[in-house]
């Protein structure tokens, strides 16, 4: 029955306007419909050139020309644009030079910090605390504080010290009576 419909459609294809939607397909491949040939567009004759009147030509020329005021405006706008670009480039170069300066100062800070730490460690390592204790007890007459000799007080202000006189070069401000004899 499907074959008959297919044959019927083939015979009457011209009558139905190439309606191929009723074909029955045998197998697993669908037949591709042949593309219709493209119609070539008919060439239209080129339009004849018409002469324009003098008034129309003068109006077109006037519309295409630039007035002096507009030319001055465009010149000023171009000068402003160039000035803005130059200022931007100057600012950009300042930013770059300052960032390079900051980098150089950071490297210098790192070097100085390292040198300071090295000097501090060398100074801290050069002090012999046992020798300082011996000199303080034997030569300067200092003794360890006992429980009754330490007096604690609340400091009314922050942590600063007022110096009322210079420290002598000998480093001794006062001697105890036992060492002066």
pLDDT digits (tens, 9 = 90+) for 147-181: 777 767 666 666 666 777 776 776 666 665 655 44
Q: Which two tokens stand for residue 156?
A: 């009314």
Helix, strand, coil % (nearest 5) of the chain? 55, 0, 45
**CB distance 181 to 141 below 8 Å:** no
- Alpha carbons within 13 angstroms on the beta-carbon side of residue 54 total 0
Please give the model's pTM, rounded to 2 decimal places.
0.37
C-alpha to C-alpha distance for 119 and 124, rounded to whole angstroms = 9
> Is 6:20 a contact under the CB 8 Å cutoff?
no
Domain boundaries, the chain: 67-130
Residue 125: Cβ within 10 Å count = 8
pLDDT digits (tens, 9 = 90+) for 85-107: 999 999 999 999 999 999 999 99
């Amino acid at each position: 029955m499907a074959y008959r419909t297919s044959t019927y459609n083939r015979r009457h294809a011209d009558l139905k306007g190439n309606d191929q939607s009723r074909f029955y397909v045998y197998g697993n491949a669908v037949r591709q419909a042949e593309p219709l040939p493209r119609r070539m567009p008919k060439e239209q004759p080129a339009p004849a050139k018409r002469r324009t009147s003098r008034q129309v030509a003068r109006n077109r020329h006037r519309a295409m020309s630039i007035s002096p005021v507009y030319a001055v405006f465009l010149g000023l706008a171009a000068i402003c644009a160039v000035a803005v670009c130059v200022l931007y480039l100057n600012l950009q170069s300042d930013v770059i030079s300052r960032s390079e300066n900051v980098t150089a100062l950071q490297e210098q800070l790192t070097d100085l910090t390292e040198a300071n730490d090295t000097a501090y460690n060398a100074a801290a390592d050069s002090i012999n605390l046992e020798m300082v204790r011996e000199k303080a007890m034997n030569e300067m007459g200092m003794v360890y504080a006992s429980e009754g000799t330490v007096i604690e007080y609340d400091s009314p202000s922050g942590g600063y010290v007022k110096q009322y006189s210079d420290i002598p070069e000998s480093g001794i401000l006062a001697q105890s009576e036992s060492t002066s004899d």
